[in-house]
Amino acid sequence: MGGSLVRPGAGPWPAAPGSRRGRPRRQTARVAPDIAPSTPYVDLDRAAWSRLSSSTPLPLTGADVARLRGLGDPIDLAEVDAVYRPLSRLLNLYANATGALHTASSTFLGEAAARTPYVIGVAGSVAVGKSTTARVLRELLARWPETPRVALITTDGFLHPNAELVRRGIMHRKGFPESYDRRGLLRFLAAVKAGRSEVRAPVYSHLTYDIVPDEQVVIRRPDVLIVEGLNVLQPARPTAVGGSSLAVSDFFDFSIYVDARTSDARQWYVDRFLSLRATAFAQPESYFHRFAELDDHQAIDRAEEIWDSINAPNLEQNILPTRGRATLVLRKGADHAVERVRLRKL
Ligand SMILES: Nc1ncnc2c1ncn2[C@@H]1O[C@H](COP(=O)(O)OP(=O)(O)O)[C@@H](O)[C@H]1O
Ligand SMILES: CC(C)(COP(=O)(O)O)[C@@H](O)C(=O)NCCC(=O)O
């Protein structure tokens, strides 16, 4: 393959907050290529990535992609072909290999091999297009004969209801780790992974900006479960006795971080906010209904204020630092197209 291997920390990947990159480095001797420090990542540019798995057919049409596309996301069939078709093949190989491993360990233990869903996490900032990525993958993975049943949940269903956020004084921190019922999400994933026949999750509405009372999504032993959300790669919380509890990502077989420059994500958030005035905000039940009548200047001010006070600090403090934990990073350019793909090999 024509992609380039990179040293950890090298290449186009900007430093996550708190990383060593960006600090002055001691001068070190040049390392000969054959003894260069090994890296757990393979970093491919778009062209090299899209040449992989060229024999895998693309089972979607332009109309399918239009149906799956989120507001403001220009994804088209060419993008799905170049980026998501190889990813679907890779996930198919990984899911099959994990199934075989599971069968082997059941045989060793003398247990009947019960299938357990292959769980994929999709992380990244607000407005980077996680939901489109997750929906496209759901559609592609469901076309493989081994995984026809693909379920998708978003972690916003596990946000505390607004009344509870207000009671805790953290309404301005929606999307931060503490705004979620983390125990509920862990219980949900443990039940899905244990192969329970029916597992329920609460539902969030972007329209009312709150949990929908008395509504639940039911997951019935899928072959694959995709779990999409800002904070799905958060490490476990330390416990009072010096240990740590389980993390959501402990239940993942594979994880994807949808990455973009922070300035691009901010612009996409503002653009989407402007578009939402004529669609979601125009509906009387929308939490943001009062913003439907704002002119462009007022709407841009309001969107930038929300971004700068909530979504940017959350990205910098909680989300971006988890990028290195992902199995695969999709790095988007300013036009939303994926420019590079980084896969963790080890
Ligand atoms: N205020 C809103 N009203 C209606 N829909 C919204 C609103 N904010 C976000 N959405 C929709 O919710 C989905 C998830 O958005 P977000 O959490 O920003 O993640 P991403 O853009 O990475 O998918 C998107 O499809 C988006 O269009
Ligand atoms: C609902 C969200 C927290 C995303 O939740 P997720 O599905 O990623 O868990 C986010 O889209 C959001 O609404 N953030 C609050 C700030 C804002 O209104 O943009």
Quick: pLDDT tens for 37-55: 678 899 999 999 999 988 8
Q: Is 233 exposed, middle or buried (0-12, 13-18, 19+ CB in 10 A)?
A: buried
- Tokens encoding 260: 């973009």
- pLDDT reading at 93 higher than 90: yes
Given the cut 0.85, state whether the ipTM is greater than it: yes
Q: Compute, in angstroms, the gap from residue 126 CA to the centroid of ligand 2.
A: 6
Q: Compute, in angstroms, the gap from residue 346 CA to the centroid of ligand 1.
A: 33
- pLDDT reading at 135 higher than 60: yes
Predicted TM-score (pTM) of this structure: 0.90
Q: Compute, in angstroms, the gap from residue 207 CA to the centroid of ligand 1.
A: 10
* pLDDT at site 115: 81
- The residue extents of the domains of the chain are 33-344
Residue with tokens 């995984």: 147
Domain 33-344 has CATH 3.40.50.300: yes
Task: Collect all residues with Cβ–Cβ distance below 8 Å to 77 and sequence separation of at least 6.
Answer: 58, 60, 61, 62, 65
Q: Predicted confidence band at 23 (pLDDT cuts at 50, 70, 90)?
A: very low
**Highest mean pLDDT (candidates 103-117, 243-257, 259-273):** 259-273
* pLDDT at site 164: 98
**If phi over 0 gives left and psi between -120 and 50 gives alpha, with beta otherwise, what is residue 152?**
beta
* pLDDT at site 287: 95
Rounded to an integer, what distance in angstroms lies between the CA atom of residue 277 and that of residue 201? 29
Among protein residues, the one with the nearest Cα to ligand 2's atom 1 is 156
Check whether 122 is labelled as a binding-site residue: no
**For residue range 163-221, what is the model confidence (pLDDT) as tens digits?**
999 999 999 999 999 999 999 999 999 999 999 999 999 999 999 999 999 999 999 99
Rounded to an integer, what distance in angstroms lies between the CA atom of residue 42 and that of residue 22? 22
Nearest to 54 by CA among 75, 82, 23: 82
Rounded to an integer, what distance in angstroms lies between the CA atom of residue 341 and that of residue 91? 14
